[in-house]
Structure 1
Amino acid sequence: MRKISVAKVGIIAATSFYLGACAQATDSKDQSQFEQTVSEAIRPIIEENNVPGMAVAVTVQGKRYFFNYGVASKENGQKVTQDTIFEIGSVSKTFTATLASYAQVSGTLSLLDNASKYLPALADSSFNKISLLNLGTYTAGGLPLQFPENVNDQQEMIAYYKGWRPSYAPGTRRLYSNPSIGLLGYLAARSIGKPFDELMEKKLFPKLGLTRTYLKVPQNQMSKYAYGYSKDNKPIRVSPGVLDSEAYGVKTTASDMIQFVEANMNGMELDETLQRAIAGTHIGYFKVGDMTQALGWEMYTYPINLDRLLAGNSSQVSLKVNVVTRLAPSLSPQQNVLINKTGSTNGFGAYVVFVPVKGIGIVMMANKNYPIPARVKAAYQILMALDSKLRLTSAR
């Protein structure tokens, strides 16, 4: 693998692809037009999948728009707002990737280091030959989607990793895995010298300006925490698990998530280290079909048609082993890309997508785990409508 030079990532250019202050939208005409666009895409999802509530946030060249549907709790009828707290499942991995990239920029780790370097208990294990980058791109050699049921604490976790053997040479196959990127987050926190939860809640989230994003929702915010709903429509929230914070544990609001999206497109107000860290999560390392695997995020050349975007977000890619092509050199952050990530827990479903060159980002969060193709289709419908509006406006 080629050594990654964070200096070459760029401090501002890699994330600053459009201009404009990130503020609540005040243009009532745009709000009305966008509301029609969003509702045409979202309302069929709610009806077809019996989704109790959804929060949708859109950013268009620095202006934010919020669209809320249904209820956060069927039991008390509380309505969804932009400040309703949702579980975002595996979208959490993009925050874990940001922390790992932050650690690299800060000099506490290198993604090219072997994983065992940061956890002596893994010395003489398979992780002597598996890099942190392999963990962050699901190319360690076949780590599974979930831990086995008998792994319930840190001691059992370490024993599992010590005994695990790869089915494939590292860097040759991709298998989407919570234990893979979860271990990356765990080791990144060890390299910094503080617990992962503390680093996220007391350092990364505040640095990003996120005031309603949590791993553990505080008691005084529980009234804003939506209930998710299972397949049989029973109220449910995520249960604790090994490396849950690192892999799928973030709870957040539409207002915070759209701010995170804006930070990924235009982080000029952030400190230099964090700008470079975010840019580092947009480096492309492996190809699976049309999808480029970055750190946490998944990317496509833009424009892209819907069928290809659906293929990249299909169960074939997310649940099965795929041969990968290593990009050498790695693909530096690009402007003309679509960047996305899906996330689910048993009671929630989320999708985040943005196109830096257009300055368009979309956040969709629901308190039901509805099918991923429906999320992608709805977001793509919204994206195409917004892109078309921008092109018509610029042509005048």
Structure 2
Amino acid sequence: MKNSRSVTSTLIAAAYVCSAFSFLPARAVGQDIEREIAPVIDKTIRAVMSDNSVPGMAVGIIVGERQLVFNYGFADRENAAPVTDDTLFEIGSVSKTFAATLGAYAAAEGKLALSDPASRHMPALAGSAFDRVSLLDLATYTGGGLPLQFPDEVIDDTATIRYFRAWRPEFRSGTHRVYSNPSIGLFGQLAAESLGQPYVEAIQDTLLSGFGLAKTYIHVPEAEMKNYAFGYNKAGKPVRVNPGALDAQAYGVKTTARDMLRFIQANIDPSRLELSLQKAIAATKVGYYRTGDTYQSLGWELYAWPATIDVLLQGNSSDMALKPQLTTRLEPPQKPAEEVFMNKTGSTGGFGAYAAFIPGRGIGIVLLGNRNFPVPERIKAAYTILSALEK
């Protein structure tokens, strides 16, 4: 792969062109939309909560310019504190879409090229395997087999660098997709370094500010702790996520359903954002690698729409998350079809999240729950609700 900024400029330009769409809401957005969709959401979500012992959920939907949030159950079961519009949920790996967007923004600003070797932006990695692994490889989990998680002994920056320097690829870069927190985590870290900021500051100053996300945090401030839900583990005990290596980049975001809707709305229609953010969003709307029916973009996974529920379940299956998958690089980057379905799941020890949207239809959904309930249940619930929005 050529290590030139012109390669990434071409990729970004192609992505920007490919992402153009006609904003055509699937249905007229009247004042009765809430009355029409509420029974579908209520029936679907109450069944999910009952079947999977989920104490509380917040569900957000977008239809055109309209955003609605529906709250269920308890944010803190022990104290009978209900889920509200201010409740903060851990979104797990949905956080990766923030890290990916930051990297796309840095590329749009000319601070990095997706074709750059990772070591170019972290001198401590010079002379390691990351001389031959590109930023795009890191962002799409195709760097050669970085694992799902860091080993337990990797607990600080020094150990993280030591781990990366010693790592040896299992596959040739670009040939296999191996879903990995260290991979996207390093991408987010290098994106922030290219911008000359620590990651948390870069996210705050660039994305949270740019998207108007006032209730989204990596580190929840003391004044907001009252709104931070407790998650519940398999034993039903209250838990919250523990710190870890590159956790902010890979799974560290806490947010409300309302803020996630703002984020998705900006992804659906970025025209109100400043130009570099528009280009960043465009770069996440095309696929860089293909694995079966799944097109891997920056952070998001893409599918041709309409898609069957079986296609979405396969693309979000445990095999896709836990096993190496042969993949094909797409040159130039491309959408799977004229209309695309974009999604991302996320989990921590006590929370389960899912975000999905169809840009050309102007519809989207967010599911946030304070239990790590099964991914297939999230996909099925979202599919049911989105299908009702399209009717």
TM over 0.5: yes
Match of 1:182 in 2: 185
Match of 1:144 in 2: 147
Match of 1:18 in 2: 23
User: What is the rounded CA distance, in whole Å, between the counterparts of 1:209 and 1:219 in structure 2?
Assistant: 21
Displacement after TM superposition at 1:280 (Å): 1.0
Q: Report if the CA contact (8 A) 1:19-1:62 is conserved.
A: no
Displacement after TM superposition at 1:357 (Å): 1.3
> Bigger shift: 333-342 or 164-173?
333-342
SS of structure 1 residue aligned to 2:75: coil
Match of 1:271 in 2: 274
> 1:203 pairs with 182, 206, 211, which one?
206
Q: CA-atom RMSD, angstroms? A: 1.6
User: What is the rounded CA distance, in whole Å, between the counterparts of 1:47 and 1:217 in structure 2?
Assistant: 29
Displacement after TM superposition at 1:363 (Å): 0.3
User: What is the rounded CA distance, in whole Å, between the counterparts of 2:337 and 2:222 in structure 1?
Assistant: 41
| Counterpart code for 2:339 | N
- The count of aligned residue pairs is 382
SS of structure 1 residue aligned to 2:151: coil
- Within 5 Å, give how 1:1-396 maps onto structure 2: 1=1, 3-4=7-8, 5=10, 6-10=12-16, 14=19, 17-18=22-23, 27=31, 29-331=32-334, 335-388=338-391
Runs of 5+ consecutive residues of structure 1 not aligned to the other structure = 389-396
| Counterpart code for 1:179 | P
Q: Report if the CA contact (8 A) 1:17-1:265 is conserved.
A: no
Displacement after TM superposition at 1:32 (Å): 1.4
Cα shift readout 1:244-294 (whole Å, capped 9, x = no counterpart):
000000000000000101000101111111111111122211111110000
Displacement after TM superposition at 1:56 (Å): 0.2
SS of structure 2 residue aligned to 1:18: coil
Counterparts in 2 of 1:209 and 1:114: CA distance versus 1, 3 Å: same
> Bigger shift: 198-207 or 288-297?
198-207
Displacement after TM superposition at 1:335 (Å): 5.0
User: What is the rounded CA distance, in whole Å, between the counterparts of 1:334 and 1:95 in structure 2?
Assistant: 24
Displacement after TM superposition at 1:10 (Å): 3.0
| Counterpart code for 1:18 | F
User: What is the rounded CA distance, in whole Å, between the counterparts of 1:267 and 1:337 in structure 2?
Assistant: 16
Match of 1:393 in 2: none
Runs of 5+ consecutive residues of structure 2 not aligned to the other structure = none
Counterparts in 2 of 1:222 and 1:36: CA distance versus 1, 3 Å: same
Q: Report if the CA contact (8 A) 2:295-2:336 is conserved.
A: no
SS of structure 1 residue aligned to 2:162: helix
User: What is the rounded CA distance, in whole Å, between the counterparts of 1:282 and 1:357 in structure 2?
Assistant: 11
Q: Report if the CA contact (8 A) 1:58-1:361 is conserved.
A: yes
| Counterpart code for 2:193 | R
User: What is the rounded CA distance, in whole Å, between the counterparts of 1:335 and 1:73 in structure 2?
Assistant: 43
Displacement after TM superposition at 1:9 (Å): 3.3
User: What is the rounded CA distance, in whole Å, between the counterparts of 1:250 and 1:106 in structure 2?
Assistant: 24
User: What is the rounded CA distance, in whole Å, between the counterparts of 2:363 and 2:249 in structure 1?
Assistant: 27
How many percent identity over aligned positions?
50
**After TM superposition, which residue ranges in structure 1, 4 or more long, deviate above 4 angstroms?**
332-335
SS of structure 2 residue aligned to 1:72: strand
| Counterpart code for 1:31 | E
